[in-house]
Amino acid sequence: MVFEIARKEFLDLLRDGRLRWCGAIIAALLLAATLVGWRSWREVSAERAAAQTEANRHFDEQEEKNPHAAAHYGLYVFKQKPSLSFLDPGVDPYTGVSIHLEAHRRNEAKDRPVRDSTAIQRFGELTAAVVLQVLLPLLVVFLVFPVIAAEREQGTLRLLMSLGVSPRSIVLGKLIGVTAALGLIVVPAAALGMLVLLAGGFHSERAWPHAPILGVAYSLYLGMFVVVSMAVSARCKSSRHALIILMALWIMNTTIAPRFATDLSRRLLPTPSSLEFQSSIGTELKAGIDGHHVGDERLERLKSELLAKHRVDTVEELPINFEGVALQASEDFGNEVHDRHRGRLEKTLGRQDTLRKALGILFPTLAIRELSMALAGTDNDHARDFADAAESHRRKLVRELNRDLEVNGAGLGFMYQAGPDLWRSMPRFRHRPQELPEILTRQTLGWVSLVTWFAAGIVLLNGATHSMRVD
């Protein structure tokens, strides 16, 4: 019986304009979004990789100069595109892609792609992730809202039950039928995604465990919409009523909740203006060692300590270059100031993220959004990781250059010069994206939300099945 109901439902949907029209539009959009995403991934990742090579060359090919001058010249590092970003570019267009690493200061990531865009960018981008998070659930609502409510309206539900068909088999059969119809769109889409991933020139080994997990997350999300919609349809008197309730749920989730969350977290957890942030760092730095001005109190103390340690009277007699020591001392001081301010800011931003993830418990679309971006490597955490990796590379680079000045430049002051051999011996910037377990633990709330909603949907559907009314 279950199988027959499923078959009937499936055939009904196939003949229905809703599935044909909406399904065709959504499938076309999904295809277009995937291809556009893949093309831009290919262009951007080739460009970024080439840019890093060129930036390294710029650094390596510097002429002979003082190592500290080389530290001022610095190195540009570029954020590389993660493989799955072709499905979900996430916050990538809204975060800087290049960072200038130089002595004394921590620069912000710059060149946000969104800087050069028109106002329609803010309607949202056409990405595979948007189709999966926003459009497919709407298709689910459109297909599922009448499955039981309409039978009730037309009196066929009474007829069916009078034939001795149990509510359980009706619900189960319809569930299978609807799922099979949706499968007609989802399965080819997943296959297409896999095909692009395998043949698209990605480092697929980095995407391997992530892609199936992403598939699981989306299945849970869409499955949740199917069972919740079925439950609503089973409870509502008329199909119109069911549609209104489901539309309201969908709008709350996909349209209102994200923006609501944005402003709520901005209001509850405000961040300082960039100007305030920079000027409070500047004020503190001014109060400390800057390494270029002799006569600073702390610098004097450092000097006399060194002179005493090596038992000499002047810096020229030291077996090391004092400028190197002074510069590194200033660097250490600056890092400490930056860390303090940056730490405070990151804490606020992190809390904003947590608030949003917590709201994901109420609105599953928020949850899948975070999960999807995290698995695609395009969420806030990944952008922050890149900035942190760049900063630690900056510190390493500057420290090694100062160290060379200190060790090899004894007695020469700022007259000491090093050459390309030194530049080439500097460590290379390599940024390893987060490991999977870390991504998953950061997204615990998202999983909790999806699983809870899915389970709640099943419980609701079960309840509605047991107390099914024929009118």
Partner 1 sequence: MLLYTILKYELRLLAADRTLAVVVLLLSLSVGYGVSNGFAWTEFQRRTLATAAREEAGRFQELKSRLAAPGSRGVPADQFGSTLGTRFAGLPPGPLAALVIGQSDILPYVTSITTTDHPSLVNDVEIENPTHLLTGRFDLGFVVVTLYPLVILALSYNSLSADKESGTLAQLLSQPVTLRTLLLGKVAARGLVVIGIAVAISVGGVLLTAGVPSGEKLVRLLLWLALVAIYGAFWFTLATLVNALGWSSATNALTLAGSWLLLVAVVPAIANVVVRSTHPMPSRVELTLALRTASDRAHATGPRLSSRFLEAHPELVKGAAEADEFAVQSLAVQEATEQGITEILEDFERQLSRQQSLVDRFRFVSPSIATLEGLQDVAGVGSARYRLYLSQVASFHDHRRDYFRPRILRKEPIEANDLDDLPAFAFEEESLGSVAGRVGTALIGLTLPTLVLAVMSRSVLRRYRIAGY
Tell me the C-alpha distance between 404 and 376, whole Å. 40
How far, in Å, CA of 260 to CA of 133, rounded?
A: 17
Cα distance between residue 45 and residue 41, in whole Å: 6
- Closest separation in Å from C-beta 443 to partner 1: 13
CA 148 distance to own-chain centroid: 39
Whichever of 204 and 271 has its CB closer to partner 1, that residue is 271
Q: Where are the alpha helices (DSSP H) in 200-293?
A: 204-207, 210-235, 239-251, 257-268, 274-286
Distance CA(334)–CA(80), nearest Å, equals: 28
Q: Report the residue number, 329 or 383, with the smaller CB distance to partner 1.
A: 383
Nearest one of 222, 225, 229 to 147, comparing CA atoms: 229
Q: How far is the CB of 23 from partner 1 (least distance, A)?
A: 12
Q: Provide the minimum distance between the beta carbon of 247 and partner 1 in the complex, in angstroms, as a whole number.
A: 6
Comparing CB distances to partner 1, the nearer of 9 and 102 is 102
First-to-last C-alpha distance (Å) of the chain? 22
With CA atoms as reference, report the closest residue to 250 among 207, 277, 218, 221.
221
Q: Which is nearer to partner 1, 256 or 312 (CB)?
A: 256
- Report, in Å, the least distance between residue 242 CB and partner 1: 9
- Angle between helix 380-408 and helix 322-359 axes, rounded to 10 deg: 170
Separation between Cα atoms, residue 134 and residue 266, nearest integer Å: 24
How far apart are CB 173 and partner 1 at their closest, in Å?
22
Name which of 141 and 410 has its Cβ closer to partner 1: 141
In angstroms, give the least distance from the CB of 75 to partner 1. 10
Q: Closest CB to partner 1 among 209 and 350?
A: 350
